[in-house]
Amino acid sequence: MGLLKLNIIENIPIKLNIGKRKAYRHNHSKNRDNLYIKLAKIIKLFPDYTPADILYSSMNGDTPCFRGDYDSVIKIINIKIENAQIKLESAWNLKQKENVKIEISNWKHMIEKLEENKRVFDYANTLYEMYKKKHSGQIELLFSQEVRNKMVGFNVFINNAFGMPGHLIKEDDVYKNKNDLIFTMRRDIGMI
C-alpha cells in the first residue's frame, strides 16, 4: 500500500510540470509571434529600391557610382548640375538649351529620389538596429535557427545594397530578401 501512495504522489509533480511546460510553450509561442509581427513591420519599411537602382535608372552614361555614401553621390550630382548650368549659359540654340534644361531637371529629380531613399532607409535601419539590440536575448532563445539565418542574410543584403561601394543589386533582390525573411517567420509560426 505504501508503494502505491508513493507512485501516486510522485506522479503529481510530473503532471504539474507538464502543465507548466505547456503554459510556458504557449507563452513562448505568443512572445515569438509578437516579436515576428514587430520584425515584419520593420522589414516592410525598408526601401523597395537601392541607391544603385535610382542612379542606374537614368539612361545617362554620366551617372556616378554609389560608393556607400549618399552625401558624396549627391555632392557629385550637384557638381554635375553646376556644370550643366554653365553649359546652359553657353548654349547656342534652343534645342541645346532644352536638352541641358532636361538634364538639369533629371539630376535634380535623382537627388530628390536619393534623399527620400536615404531618409526611408535611415528610419527603417534605425528601427531594425534598435529591435535587434532590445530583443537580442529573445531572438537567440525564441527564434528558430532558420529565421536567425535569414536575419543574417538580410543583414548582409542591406550592407551590400545600401552601404557597400559599387554593389549593383537587382531590384528583385530587394523584394526577395525582404519577403524571404517574412516568409520564413510565417512558416515558423505555422501560417504556411
Residue 17 within any structural domain of the chain: yes
Residue 94 lies in a domain: no
Cα separation, 146 vs 185, in Å, equals 9
Percent of the chain with pLDDT over 70: 79
Q: Is residue 7 part of a domain?
A: no
Domain membership flag for residue 74: no
On whether residue 91 sits in a domain, the answer given is no
Q: Does residue 77 lie in a domain region? A: no
Distance CA 170, CA 176 (A): 10
Q: How many domains does the chain have?
A: 1
- The domain containing residue 33 runs over which residues? 12-58+113-188
Residue 92 forms part of a structural domain: no
H/E segment holding residue 140: helix 136-142
pLDDT at 26 exceeding the cut of 70: no
Nearest to 123 by CA among 44, 64, 18, 22: 44
In tens, the pLDDT along 102-139 reads: 999 999 999 999 999 999 999 999 999 999 999 999 99
Check residue 93 and give left, alpha or beta (phi > 0: left; psi -120 to 50: alpha).
beta
Q: What is the DSSP letter of 102?
A: H
Residue 26 lies in a domain: yes
pTM for this prediction: 0.78
- What sign has the CA pseudo-torsion 136, 141, 143, 148? positive
**Confidence band for 163, pLDDT divided at 50, 70 and 90:** confident
- Following DSSP, what letter does each residue of 24-69 receive, concatenated? HHHHHHHHHHHHHHHHHHHHHHS-SS-HHHHHHTS--TTPPPP-S-
88/104 Cα distance (integer angstroms)? 9
